[in-house]
Every structure is written in structure tokens, then in C-alpha cells.
Amino acid sequence: MDFTLKVWRQPDRNYRGQFRVYKAEGITPDMSFLEMLDSVNAGLAKKGEDTIAFDHDCREGICGSCGMYINGRAHGPERGVATCQLYMRSFKDGSSIVIEPWRAKSFPVIKDLVVDRSAFDRIIQAGGYISVDTGGVPDGNSVPIPKPDAEKAFDAAACIGCGACVAACKNSSAMLFVGAKIAHLAALPQGQLERKERAIKMIARMDAEGFGNCSNTYACEAECPKKISVLNIARMNLEFILAKLR
């Protein structure tokens, strides 16, 4: 399989970027999207050219670092997968592929397709954790949790913090990410003591980082590789209101 790649190249956040065209040749259908980029970079390195910078780590759809826009879609054309789980058989042989970094003020470009997502880290540091002493690691069934609550917590905890929700939202809102983190801990007994403080601090940090408000277009849910539900945004709003009233 052969492809024409239109890739965003930008030295750093202080320079204006531009698209450059590259050829990806001899690509097999079973290659992942990142393996295809590796192949292109190997060719560039042999020619002494600057390779395409992109972020990745686990390549198993867990870490969330591989985010990029592919043909106008966060993580590419398939639903429920991160870029590292996207395979070249999803594209037509001979087609053109446009590859861009996340476009959000709160995610400044570091280089090429790599963006600075440390704003998410600062939101987590504001309250996305349990700091109270919960003792040693308990057995799985020693703390009785109703099944509906456990399922809510598990579904929200599936968020990998990739930033696709921010990139897909026309307002660059991080509410799906923050909502998932707040809803996850609010559903568990261990998270109750800091529940009020957590909601207020995390939302305040989100606003301070410059993320926009929810656009109510559900684009975040549609592009999320873990299919996090927008119901978590409603749960976040409820937690915030209750925290203020209490």
C-alpha cells in the first residue's frame, strides 16, 4: 500500500508551522498508524532529513499520548480506538492522509505533532486523587459497593487523558476529561471525604488553564477512544452544585 501524507511540521510553539508532503510506500495493511510513521521516519533519517515528531508510549491504547488529528478526526476514522490501535487497512490504498496536532490553546505545540498536555496533569494535581489514609490494599470484595456505582466508576475511570475531547470540541472544552475524573472518585466510598473539595478545585483549575465551556455538540463523546459518556459532564455539574450548596 502507498499513501501520500500531508503532515503538519512546526519546530516549536514560537514558529508558524506548515504542511509538508511525504510519501509512505510499501506499507502493509496490518501496520498500525504509528508503525507507518516509523517507516516514513526511517526513510527521512536515511536521507539526513528531520524526522516527524509524534508522541507515543505504550502503543496499546492505554497511555493516551499518541493523540493526533487524522483526516479531520481525532485518532482517525475508527471509533473507540487510539491512534496506536488504528491500522492502515482502514485507509484506501493510494489515498491522501492529512495529519495534524491537537488544535487547542491549552495544548501548545511542542514540535510537529507533539503538544503539551501538562494542563491535564495540573488539573489532576488540583484534586483528582484520594489523599486520605485508606489503609492497606483491601481484598476485592471487602468493601461492598453497589453494582451500579461500581459500573459508573469503572466506566469513568477508563479515561486515558489523551485530549481528544478537547481537540474535537469547538470550544476546546475539557469537561469530559474533568467530568470523568470527578465522577469516578465520587462514585466510590474512598472518595467521599474529599468529594466537595475535589469538584471545586478541579473545575477551578480547568478554568484557569483556559479550557472553554461545553459546546453541547457531543463531539467529545463521539471522538473519545474509550467512549466516555457525556453523562459524566452532568455528574460533574451536579457535584459542583452540591459542593457549593454544602
Residues 129 and 96 in one domain: no
Instruction: Tell me the per-residue pLDDT of 3-33, one tens digit each, with 9 for 90 and over.
Output: 999 999 999 988 999 999 999 999 999 999 9
- pLDDT attached to residue 137: 73
Residues 51 and 72 in one domain: yes
Query: Looking at the 3D structure of the chain, how many domains does it have?
Result: 2
DSSP 3-state percent helix, strand, coil across the chain (nearest 5): 40, 15, 50
Residues 66 and 143 in one domain: no
The predicted model scores a pTM of 0.92
**CATH code at 157?**
1.10.1060.10
Residues 189 and 229 in one domain: yes
Q: Which of 111, 132, 161 is the last residue of a domain?
A: 111
- pLDDT attached to residue 145: 86
Instruction: Tell me the per-residue pLDDT of 130-168, one tens digit each, with 9 for 90 and over.
Output: 887 767 777 767 778 889 999 999 999 999 999 999 999
Domain span at residue 183 reads: 117-245
Residues 190 and 101 in one domain: no
Q: Of 54, 14, 7, 20, give the one whose Cα is nearest residue 34.
A: 54
Residues 10 and 75 in one domain: yes
Residues 121 and 42 in one domain: no
Residues 45 and 80 in one domain: yes
Residues 106 and 121 in one domain: no
C-alpha cell of residue 1: 500500500
C-alpha cell of residue 127: 484534586
- pLDDT attached to residue 140: 67
- pLDDT attached to residue 179: 97
Low-confidence ranges of the chain (pLDDT < 50): none
**CATH code at 73?**
3.10.20.30
Long-range contacts of 152-156, Cβ-Cβ distance < 8 Å, separation of 24 or more: 152/183, 152/187, 152/235, 153/183, 153/184, 153/185, 153/187, 153/188, 155/228, 155/229, 156/180, 156/181, 156/183, 156/184, 156/187, 156/228, 156/232
- pLDDT attached to residue 171: 96
Residues 99 and 130 in one domain: no
Q: Which of 87, 111, 135 is the last residue of a domain?
A: 111
Residues 132 and 232 in one domain: yes
- pLDDT attached to residue 124: 97
